[in-house]
Amino acid sequence: MIRLQHLTKSFGAKQVLNGLCLEVPDGRNTVVIGGSGSGKSVTLKLIAGLLEPDAGQVEVDGAVVQTMDRSELAALRGRIGYVFQFAALFDSMTVAQNIGLGLVKQGYDQATIARRVGESLAVVELSGTEDRYPAELSGGMRKRVGIARAIALKPRYILYDEPTTGLDPITSAVMDDLMRRTRDLGVTGLVVTHDMRSAFTVGDRIAMLHCGAIRQVGTVEEIQATDDPVVRQFIEGRPGAALPTPTGGFPE
Amino acid sequence: MASRVAARDGFVAHVGHLSLETFRALADVRTWGPLLVPQMRRLGVDSVPIALFIAVFTGIVLSLLSSYIFTGAVPMYFVGALVGKTIMMELGPVLTGMALAGRVGASIAAELGTMKVTEQVDALETLAYDRNSYLIVPRVLAATLMFPVVTAFAMGVGVFSGWITAINLLDLSSPDFLKGLKLFYRFKDIWFGLIKSASFGAAVALMGCLRGLDAQAGAAGVGLSTTRAVVLGCEAILVLDAFWALVLL
């Protein structure tokens, strides 16, 4: 389980997270929704140990990420797959090299790496693209290669950063299907998005991030039926006046 | 003023921290080992043409300039001495270093800066790689090892072009040029120049990595980092040049 406790993070004068608390249960997809710049991507980077919180802590499987040494952090990253918003593929490497890089680090032999690369590409339905470079792929294909890179390590968790942003509806649906299938393989997913259609499709639980803290957490049905004006405004996509600032702490 | 001092202190601490981290990452040979030779080829071998181009013209100018200075004052065979000493001890390492600060420093900063702003550096870390082992160590080591090699070629070509200039354009024979060249030659001249160039390589690559990994988002951010890397690399070369002159001469 991933447990975020009272996370606070600022960049200069801008406070991004302000007492964020959230639990991500195993074996399910938890979707964090919120406006652009609300701190969703920062939350994922805190979980992966790419950023340090100003206060609060991140627990993964009972261990506090901020107190891990280098080897513990490397071991943690071996259990967490990360799908970046713009895929973040290494542009000087082929698709196969991109997917195999993490496996090389884990010390697998070449035959195992080739087999795992092939399996991962088959899952994202991109078999045959092993020798192509990222520049030769469409945006949707790149994102799928990003997922293949994440699942090749057989992680326990996958963090998805805006997986459907910038994709056409059909490719978005393919991505949603991939996220559901990955969950069905037993992988815990944490998806951050502001695409409500995708959130309702892939999410088992949905958490609304607003003003640096979680405003509401619930099932898809609970969120769809909410009477919280902030959450309603967001999921219905209605422009409106500034909404009240919440306090930190675990939501009811 | 106070903010400028704080910024300078912050920069020095940043360089110190990065240097220590790079040194620590040297132990991770499994990560940087396979990347070293490609970087040596890219940063070193591919830089040979520009270094030789500079060396040819430096030799020509030095030969003509020393002839202009010495005519009627000192024996002309001193042209060989001045060309040899100056190219081996100063102009070979420094001019090659400056040229490579532009080529190598800019290349490293632009590459790492682009990787930073496109989240490729973060992606590397999520795959359990240490960014220092994978990105910094092979580049700094490659530059440290290859700058002296490129400089050695530049020294040879610079002296040779000075010699050819002297026997073709000046009233100087080959034996006279070589007599001057040998007259003040000491083996220290060469290793002094090569040690300097190794330190220039380390500094240029480190500045390129530092500025590249500090790049701010967008093309303008990467461009600014690249410019800063080249300027810092050149400044570092001049400071190190003075340092080695104080320490080794």
* pLDDT for position B12: 84
What rounded mean pLDDT belongs to chain A?
A: 90
- Is the CB of residue A85 less than 8 Å from the CB of residue A42? no
Residue at token pair 């072009």: B161
Shortest Cα distance, chain A CAs vs residue B142, angstroms:
19
Tokens read off for A36: 């652009």
Tokens read off for B247: 């320490």
* pLDDT for position B5: 56
Please report which helix (H) or strand (E) contains residue A70, including its range: helix A70-79
Shortest Cα distance, chain B CAs vs residue A90, angstroms:
6
Band of the pLDDT at A70, cuts 50, 70, 90? Answer: confident
CA B197/CA B214 separation, integer angstroms: 26
* pLDDT for position B16: 87
* pLDDT for position A250: 53
With an 8 Å Cβ cutoff, is B118 touching chain A? Answer: yes
- Find chain A residues with C-beta within 8 A of B118's C-beta: 86, 88, 91
* pLDDT for position A252: 45
CA A41, A99, A69, B112 torsion-angle sign: negative
Mean pLDDT throughout A130-146? 93
Q: What single-letter DSSP state applies at residue B105?
A: I
A129: Cβ contacts below 8 Å, ≥ 6 apart: A95, A121, A137, A141, A145
- Is the CB of residue A144 less than 8 Å from the CB of residue A174? yes
With an 8 Å Cβ cutoff, is A102 touching chain B? Answer: yes
CA A137/CA B223 separation, integer angstroms: 26
CB nearest to A88's CB, from B31, B120, B128: B120
With an 8 Å Cβ cutoff, is A80 touching chain B? Answer: yes
Q: Which of A75-89, A166-180, B33-47 has the lowest mean pLDDT?
A: A166-180
- Please name the residue ranges forming H helices in A86-138: 95-105, 110-123
With an 8 Å Cβ cutoff, is A81 touching chain B? Answer: yes
- Find chain A residues with C-beta within 8 A of B128's C-beta: 74-75, 77-78, 102, 105-106
Mean pLDDT throughout A81-101? 94
- Coil vs helix vs strand at A21: strand
Band of the pLDDT at A165, cuts 50, 70, 90? Answer: confident
Q: What single-letter DSSP state applies at residue A156?
A: S
- The C-alpha angle A44, A164, A118, rounded to 5 degrees, equals 85
CA B203/CA B232 separation, integer angstroms: 9
Phi (first) and psi of residue A3, to 5 degrees? -130, 120
Answer left, alpha or beta for residue B248, where phi above 0 means left and psi between -120 and 50 means alpha.
alpha
- Coil vs helix vs strand at A3: strand
* pLDDT for position A238: 79
With an 8 Å Cβ cutoff, is B119 touching chain A? Answer: yes
| pTM given for the model | 0.86
DSSP-assigned letters across all residues of B168-219: HHSS--HHHHHHHHHHS--HHHHHHHHHHHHHHHHHHHHHHHHHHHTPPSSH
* Cross-chain residue pair B127–A101, CB shorter than 8 Å: yes
Please report which helix (H) or strand (E) contains residue A236, including its range: helix A229-236
Q: Which of A42-56, A158-172, A208-222, B136-150 has the lowest mean pLDDT?
A: A158-172
Q: Which of A64-68, A174-178, A248-252 has the lowest mean pLDDT?
A: A248-252
**pLDDT tens across the length of chain B (249 residues):** 555 555 666 788 888 888 898 899 999 999 999 999 999 999 999 999 999 999 999 999 999 999 898 888 888 889 999 999 999 999 999 999 999 999 999 999 999 999 999 999 999 999 999 999 999 999 999 999 999 999 999 999 999 999 999 999 988 899 999 999 998 888 888 999 999 999 999 999 999 999 999 998 788 999 999 999 999 999 999 999 999 999 987
Burial class (CB in 10 A: 0-12, 13-18, 19+), B15: middle
Residue scoring higher pLDDT (A95 or A172): A95
- Please name the residue ranges forming H helices in B44-135: 48-70, 78-86, 92-100, 106-117, 120-126, 131
Q: Which residues pair with A161 in a beta bridge?
A: A192
With an 8 Å Cβ cutoff, is B28 touching chain A? Answer: no
Find the closest chain B residue to A72 by CA distance: B128
Q: What is the ipTM of this complex?
A: 0.88
